[in-house]
Structure 1
Amino acid sequence: MTADITDDLILVDDPEPGVRRLTLNRPAKRNALSNALRARLFALLEANDCDPDVSVTIIRGAGTCFSAGYDLAGGTAPPYPFHTAPGPGHWPRHVVEGAFRIWDLAKPVIAQVHGWCLAGGSELATACDVVYVAETAMIGYPPVRSMSPPDNQFHAWLCGLRPAMELMLTGDAMDGREAVRVGFANRAFPEAELDEEVVRIAARMARIPTEIQQMNKRSVHRAMEIMGLRAAIRAGTEIQALAMTTATSRESFAAVRVSVTEGLDARDAPFKDYRTK
């Protein structure tokens, strides 16, 4: 095992030969996905894809959770990690292009999820090739209650019609066992065992040469794309952009701009969950 390489936003270590682990390192902000963090993450993922000593990447979160979502307290303002065509719907298009940047990497990327995995955090997890979760993880997309459907509309593809519809119509969170049942995640483990189990699986993946592994990845992805996944998710960005023009969405974002905590609490208080539980 190598020594940790630390920067302000992401911790980097190699727990096994061929396995590079990236730890989102904003625990005080529940690993909120600011554009600065996203830029660092994309740079590291792309560097790993070109590094002959790396075969598999794990993404996890420091502290109590994987990620509570995008940084609504100003962290999604420019500069952006990469250029996306401007104009109406820029943000959902940008998010989806980011997801497919991960999707199109040659080497496998594993999401290791514990604690909260909400909104943009869940979008990051689903962009990865496989997802392993703690049994106690809580995964959801609460912005459907007052803002919009997801930027990256993965639910129907991963979970199927009925579970996806229920998640979209309630904004409720599911635990790790339920996430496996509906297809969001591959496997769930007790949280105390999650690190060890994910590294064990990653090490098995790393034994397969990258020249073969990238073909294995693409074979699955191409099948999903032929069924329309890429086109459908990109088309969903237009619905998300349209939702942002509604009075409810505008009022919700106005409240969040005054106070993120109070705005989100007002959204969730009628449901008595998330922070208001």
Structure 2
Amino acid sequence: MTEPTLRMEIADGVATITLCRAKEYNTITPELRDELAAAITAADEDPTARVILLRAEGPAFCAGYKIDRFIDEQHAETCGPDRIWDSATDLRWMGRFVQTYMKLWYASKPTIAAVQGWCVGGGTDLVLCADLIIAGRGASFGYPPARVWGTPTTAMWVYRMGLERAKRYLLTGDEITAPEAERIGLILETVPDEELDEHAATFARRMAKLPANQLQLHKLLCNQTVENMGMASSRTLGILLDGVARHTQEGVDFEARAGAVGLRQAVRERDSPFRDYGSR
């Protein structure tokens, strides 16, 4: 039996979901996807919880997908024996991950994420679906697969920080420090790293003092504005283009290089011209 990827507890009106694969930097696996989906649903349905707080153990909130498993399982699901890519199957397969992330958005109750360390790649697809994000000042965000092998599947970047800033970071893949993420509106606020957990929990408890129906009505009102801007169609395009980006010549070459020299070295080579992320 595999170890659980998270745990949940409810107290003072707050359902706290904690990712607990610290040694693996809380990388995304099918098990984490399914357990997180179940936890968010349970928290949203529990009458004693008014707010959902997502946090993580260890040095990183989420360092993206567990790529070795991702590649193997994606090939098994979406490629034939001659490595013919099925874009429709890929859309459905990747969409299962996105459906879990979007549960943070579509939960009737407010969702808060407390982020420490790395939150990159697929980790941003996940966390940007939360209603509010609080980060430790040492945290870092970014979408390095923008350089090769991916596009943001939940397509939240423009909605969070505007068109030009989203282009600025997606057209370079540059790393975003937590203070910069706060300045440009990607996240709500930053606090000292050692104060993150208590600050986020205190804020969640403060929010939970409101009646549950008031919280749900205000969240629906705010989110519907973004829905009316076409978020659902943007998200569908993001999932589809992510599959396309993994199967361009450059995407296939990157994957082959990772197979030859190891993923870490391939990522280091990708990022070294920019001198950020793991290349440091």
2:122 to 95, 120, 123: 120
Q: What residue number does 1:51 align with? A: 46
CA distance in 1, matches of 2:256, 2:165: 31
- Where structure 1 has 5 or more consecutive residues not aligned to the other structure, the ranges are 1-6
TM-score (norm 1): 0.89
Secondary structure of the equivalent of 2:272?
helix
Q: Give matches, 1:228-267, under 5 Å.
A: 228-258=230-260, 259-267=262-270
- 2:34 touches 2:100 (CA, 8 Å); kept in 1? no
- Where structure 2 has 5 or more consecutive residues not aligned to the other structure, the ranges are 78-86
CA distance in 1, matches of 2:248, 2:68: 21
CA distance in 2, matches of 1:179, 1:92: 27
Q: What residue number does 1:61 align with? A: 56
RMSD (CA atoms)? 2.1
- Report the CA distance shift for 1:90/1:264 in structure 2 as closer, same or farther (over 3 A): farther
Q: Identical aligned pairs, as a percentage?
A: 30
1:163 to 2:165 alignment: yes
CA distance in 1, matches of 2:106, 2:51: 14
Matched length: 266
1:11 to 2:14 alignment: no
Tell which deviates more after alignment, 240-249 or 178-187: 240-249
CA drift of 1:172 comes to 1.1
CA distance in 1, matches of 2:268, 2:191: 30
1:271 to 2:266 alignment: no
- 1:73 touches 1:257 (CA, 8 Å); kept in 2? no
Deviations 1:171-204 (A, max 9, x none): 1111111111111111111111111111111001
Deviations 1:78-116 (A, max 9, x none): 899xxxx95243344333333333211111111111110
CA distance in 2, matches of 1:133, 1:204: 18
- 2:149 touches 2:242 (CA, 8 Å); kept in 1? no
The residue type paired with residue 52 of structure 2 is T
Secondary structure of the equivalent of 1:22?
strand
Deviations 1:233-256 (A, max 9, x none): 222323323222310011112233
Secondary structure of the equivalent of 2:154?
coil
TM-score (norm 2): 0.88
CA distance in 1, matches of 2:15, 2:95: 28
